[in-house]
Amino acid sequence: MNHKIGIIRETKIGETRVSFTPTQLQKFIKTYEIPVFIESFNERCFLDEEYKICGVKIVKKLPRDCNVIFGFKEIPLKRISKDKIYFCFSHTAQGQKHNLPLLKKEIETLSEDDLIDWQLEVARVRGSLLRS
């Protein structure tokens, strides 16, 4: 299977953090020769141009055939579809009421291997999941 990596623009107001720096993606592209696309976003802590210089393709909307999707915060409900793998802080493991629609969509749409929640990965490394 040929992979294409996609990085969505963040939708949370004030969110400027990123999943990867331009330099990290440059190393990834050089090492694995897998194309990386990132949605243009003026609020990100790195400029689109910095990603472009490092070999990342800047797009208004991710190509449909991007099959590995990264976001920093939750992936918007309308962006979740089958046959893709998602990496993000989904904030669904804690069962917060405002995230229940997202959790429901994830359960109905994705297999257990198609959502990698950074929060759970951090908890696995640290040995616990703190509940708020």
Whole-number pLDDT of residue 126:
56
Whole-number pLDDT of residue 88:
79
Using alpha carbons, list the distances in angstroms from residue 106 to 86, 96, 124, 131.
10, 14, 20, 20
Whole-number pLDDT of residue 54:
98
Is pLDDT of 124 > 60?
no
- What is the residue extent of each domain of the chain? 1-73, 80-126
Q: pTM for the complete prediction? A: 0.79
The overall average pLDDT reported for the chain is: 83
Cβ atoms of 54 and 25 closer than 8 Å: yes
Range from 23-32, 81-90, 104-113, 117-126 carrying the lowest mean pLDDT: 117-126
Mean pLDDT for the stretch of residues 57-81:
90
Domain 1-73 listed as CATH 3.40.50.720: yes
Whole-number pLDDT of residue 28:
97
Instruction: Say how far apart CA 62 and CA 40 lie, in whole Å.
Output: 10
